[in-house]
Amino acid sequence: MIDIDLIRERPDILRESGEKRGQEFRIDEAIDLDRRRRSTITEIDNLRAKRNDVSRELGKTSDKPQELIEEMRAVGSKIKILESDEKRLAENLDSILLDIPNVPSDTSPVGQDESKNVVVRTIGEAPSFSFEPRPHWEIGEELGIIDFQSGVKLSQSRFYVLKGKGATLQRAVISWMLDLHVKNHNYVELYLPFMVNRETVKGSSHLPHFEENMYHDEEDDLFMVPTAEAPITGLFRDEIIDESDLPLRYVSHTPCWRREKFSAGRDTRGIKRVHQFDKVEMYKFVKPESSNEELEKLVKDAERVCEILKIPHRVLELCTGDLGFAASKSYDVEMWASGTSEWLEVSSCSNCTDFQSRRSAIRYRPESGGRPRFLHTLNGSGLAVPRVLIAILENYQQEDGSVVVPEVLRPLTGFDKISAGS
RNA sequence: GGAGGGGUCGCAUAGAGGCCUAGUGCGGGCGCCUGCUAAGCGCUUAUCCCUGUUAUGGGGAUCGUGGGUUCGAAUCCCACCCCCUCCGCCA
């Protein structure tokens, strides 16, 4: 949620933000609704003050003048009418405000689409092969570790089954990434609900604009989490945190469910884009003045995974048109996949500034005292599991069709190679 | 799922139409007292909104949530949510 003060005092900032993102917001309408709403509130408050006075007097005397009671009855019904006006104005205003994304950071490159993203750095060399490297879906099927047909049989397309060493490899990847962030990067591990209520997804700003992409349980009005970002944001909804407790850093492994409605027909082969995937997510609650610095550290934490796995990667800074709804500044981390010869987005690290905390009412009390302030939230994958598996399979594949397990994972897998029939 | 009980200020509790503009205790803050500490004493102690000015201003809202009754609701009525106890079911 953007700051209503921007509507009131700096609509120019929002207009500029809209231009940078290539969107248009109904700012003038919002300004008008806000003005009408405030004057309605003033009117309501004045009437209530009057009624409170009179009622208090009536309470003190045994003599109850009928005409005063009549008058207050009229005031009461006037208040009711104004209240419903106010409610309607607030709803209309909200529906505009909820549609306005976060304001891009001044440092984000300006551009309409992903072609304007900027490569910040590239680390590692693509491995060279003495043979034609194959895509992961061929490798996975041949080794008998990814079973696409069973996924379709059990569910529908874009679901899959991991078998044998494939499943073990995934478990090792998850466990190792969690340990890395907990032990070396100072995050606290969380085990979270995989279904969350409406308030929670509203707070993380997946509602309303992401609604079509989430699986929803009608009976209990719960949403399957599209990312751990949603429940973690909700952890401190409507709470005031002591400044001395900040920053809070969390990491959690959850499945993520997405309908992928907007990607119909894209990436239909393999496990790159599926309805259910696992992810290790990093998340921070920080003081506003430190969020830029924390974003840089967050990216480093994600990159560390690539480095240790010895998989080439690059970091992109997203341009304004490619930024997510809640993000003001984002970096994507991409791993190189030799088989498909493409860069795979394995992490998107974002500084959401006070956008989500405003929406979720997450504040902190300054040590120096004074009013509570909205804190800043950041999130980033650390990393998306299926795409890491893709990168491992495609970059560690051997001429004989086997796949070597990255060294760091071997203590967890208990094997150093996956070969056909093994 | 059934039957009971309950949700009040950070915590604990009082409150049962107007004396609640929510009391008291604890905890927190400031001060006094004081060899030090403790005790004692005094003051203070939430959030949001409107207005406004920079005054330690005025007003409104918030007693689980949302409706209703009433001149007036923490208090009465309705619905929902959550917690506890027992029963049933169950990994």
Is the Cβ atom of A365 within 7 Å of strand B at any atom? yes
> Quick check: A66 CB within 7 A of strand B?
no
Interatomic distance A128 CA / B73 C1' (Å): 78
Query: What number is the average pLDDT over the span A105-115?
Result: 95
What backbone torsions phi and psi does residue A156 show, to the nearest 5 degrees?
Answer: -165, -170
The answer to whether the beta carbon of residue A239 comes closer than 7 angstroms to any atom of strand B is no
- Taking only the tens place, the pLDDT of each residue in A232-252 is 999 999 999 988 889 999 999
Q: Give the pLDDT confidence score for residue A367 in this predicted structure.
A: 82
- Residue A244 has what pLDDT? 87
* Inter-residue contact A329 to A107 (CB < 8 Å): yes
**What is the average pLDDT value for chain A, to the nearest integer?**
94
User: A247, A284 in Cβ contact below 8 A?
Assistant: yes
Question: Is the domain covering A114-418 a CATH 3.30.930.10 domain?
Answer: yes
Q: Is the distance between the Cβ of A369 and the closest atom of strand B smaller than 7 Å?
A: no
Q: How far apart are CA A117 and CA A318, in angstroms?
A: 5
pLDDT confidence bin for A226, thresholds 50/70/90: very high
Q: Can you tell me which residue has its alpha carbon closest to the C1' of nucleotide B72? A: A55
Does the CB of A84 sit below 7 A from strand B? no
Q: Which nucleotide is nearest to A238 (CA to C1')?
A: B47
Mean pLDDT of A15-31: 95
pLDDT of residue A228: 97
Tell me the C-alpha distance between A349 and A383, whole Å: 10
pLDDT tens digits, A123-162 = 999 999 999 999 999 999 999 999 999 999 999 999 999 9
Q: Which of A304, A306, A305, A328 is nearest to A317 (CA)?
A: A328
A56 touches strand B (CB under 7 A): yes
Q: What is the dihedral of CA A108, A114, A115, A117, to 10 degrees?
A: 30
pLDDT confidence of residue A366 = 86
Q: Is the pLDDT of residue A61 over 90?
A: no
C1' (B54) to CA (A43) span, angstroms:
25
Is the torsion defined by CA of A293, A297, A298, A303 positive or negative? positive
Q: Are A405 and A413 in contact (CB under 8 A)?
A: yes
A36 touches strand B (CB under 7 A): no
pLDDT tier at A193 (50, 70, 90 boundaries)? very high
Give per-residue pLDDT as tens, A310-331: 999 999 999 999 999 999 999 9
Q: Nearest nucleotide, C1' to the C-alpha of A73?
A: B71
What pLDDT is stored for residue A208 in this prediction? 87
CA A369, C1' B30: Å apart? 13
CB-based burial of residue A225 (10 Å sphere; 0-12 exposed, 13-18 middle, 19+ buried)?
A: buried
Q: Using the structure, give the distance in angstroms from the CA atom of A366 to the C1' atom of B30, rounded to a whole number.
A: 18
The structure tokens listed for A219 are 């009976």
CATH architecture of the domain A4-97 equals Orthogonal Bundle (1.10)
Strands A216-217 and A313-317: unpaired
Of A172-176, A214-218, A340-344, A409-413, the poorest mean pLDDT is in: A214-218
Q: In angstroms, how far is B88 C1' from A103 CA?
A: 55
In chain A, where the domains are located: 4-97, 114-418
The rounded percent of chain A whose pLDDT value lies above 70 is 100
Beta bridge partners, A195, equal: A224
The residues, any chain, with a CB within 8 Å of residue A127's CB and separated by 6 or more, are A312, A338, A395
Cβ within 7 Å of strand B: which of A 158-177? none
Interatomic distance A36 CA / B71 C1' (Å): 29
Strand B: which of residues 185-204 in chain A lie with Cβ below 7 A? none
Tell me whether strands A248-257 and A188-190 are parallel, antiparallel or unpaired.
parallel
Cβ atoms of A408 and A354 within 8 Å: the answer is no
Half-sphere exposure of A123 (CA within 13 A, CB side): 19
On strand B, nucleotides with any atom < 7 Å from a protein CB are: 18-19, 21, 47-51, 58-61, 67-68, 70-72
**Ramachandran category for residue A225: left, alpha or beta (phi over 0 → left; psi -120 to 50 → alpha):** beta
CA of A127 to C1' of B78 (A): 70
Whole-number distance in Å between A371 CA and B43 C1'? 22
- C1' of B22 to CA of A368 (Å): 29
A405 or A65, which is more confident? A405
For A262-304, what is each residue's pLDDT tens digit?
888 888 899 999 999 999 999 999 999 999 999 999 999 999 9
A136-143 vs A165-179: helix axis angle to the nearest 10? 120
A49 touches strand B (CB under 7 A): yes
How many CA atoms does the CB half-sphere of A75 hold within 13 Å? Answer: 19
**Over 90: is that where the pLDDT of A111 sits?**
yes
Assess contact for A226 and A257: CB atoms under 8 A. Answer: yes
